Structure 1
């Protein structure tokens, strides 16, 4: 099943085809910015029943060079069959469209990026015949954009930076810069980038930070993510109120039982009971309050 990060890593290039030109600078090549881009069918299946489908396929045209094809693949982990698939994609596209074909693989972890960058030949060592060595974008070469002004200058690149660094320590700073930069962006620009970023983070810990940033910094527009976060925040507040109410009730019960049993309750005991906010701990104290000979002994198992 296709995962949200997989979709985000390649669909962001459909959203902004010019992103490849800007990303290429970090990959050691200089690709001119396209003046025209066309999304092409991604199904590369022939009459053969085996399905072959590239993630994203774009036809890009530049002002100084002829048109070329860009195939974008999102790769979440090492897979021994992928190099053969990529060789098929590039050869098939070159044959079908008679255009130079570039292959970009987007990764989210260093190990997969290193594996993807290794050239793989289809022939024996002395006869390599066809070698596949895609361009690779990942946490090892994508920029760490932590300045809101830098993020504001290229919002799509900043979103890709967050996606490719989703598992890196720097991702929190990238997300904060991106959310700050998006405050000034029109809703039609901000909304898809919010969703791409959320997809790319998937179930990683940084997703929770992004949801909170969206709820606070980007509350001026509606999206399923923002509404979902606000609903969760409201639910969390209600649960906190209920927890506090249970804690207060149990604290009152503990003191009442001790008083009804005629035990002396020192001020430090009373203060410790009333200031406790852990309902489970208070429940244990409540059970002990029924039998302890001294009020202080309700804490002995704490």
Structure 2
């Protein structure tokens, strides 16, 4: 099952994707796709619906983040061996955790660079959406806590992250730095999240071309590990790390600038196409 949220910013409504790829309105069945919706019982009720009986949504509608912006974004850093190597850092023995302090945005919304941006970078990642929370989750039961998976870009301003105090969260929390979606895809459609192709291009040039089989710490391990330190809650989003090919790792480094277009995707989770703008640009 593929779930989405569509409509103007702040006025999104829930939707399901039918077998033909059309959006169908879920507003008569749920208010939003959030922590309350993501429990196992609620998802089972939605899965039992016949999408063909639901109102169709016009295909020109804006696609928002597939989860409401009320949970946390918990990130795992340096979780691909090739990415750690390209930025010259050792692979952590335990998962490295940090938070993004911004809210998810839509998968095709414009990315507006900070006014003093000089090193804005990309990081395509597999996202885990928590459906059933908890502390001290065992690795073997971790899949029972997952509502689904999604695509996201852990956008990073490296000058904030590396040149101004060396603090990761500061470099990753500017508004718009977490485009998510287009869908939340339930685990029945992603039987092996550890074997998905993952890629990213800037202006048609492919920079990242990897596979989640190269994750240092896998999905179940990550959920279990994070739950040793955080009380996970329904609606939380865990970003699992990025493969090699970030802008910082190029020779010389390459960073985003106004006019660029970033496209990226993961098998089964859809793709995004994001135009890059200066902060003061008038958009739309």
Greater helix content: 1
Tell me the TM-score normalised to structure 1 length.
0.23
- Flag the structure with larger Rg: 1
With normalisation by structure 2, the TM-score equals 0.24
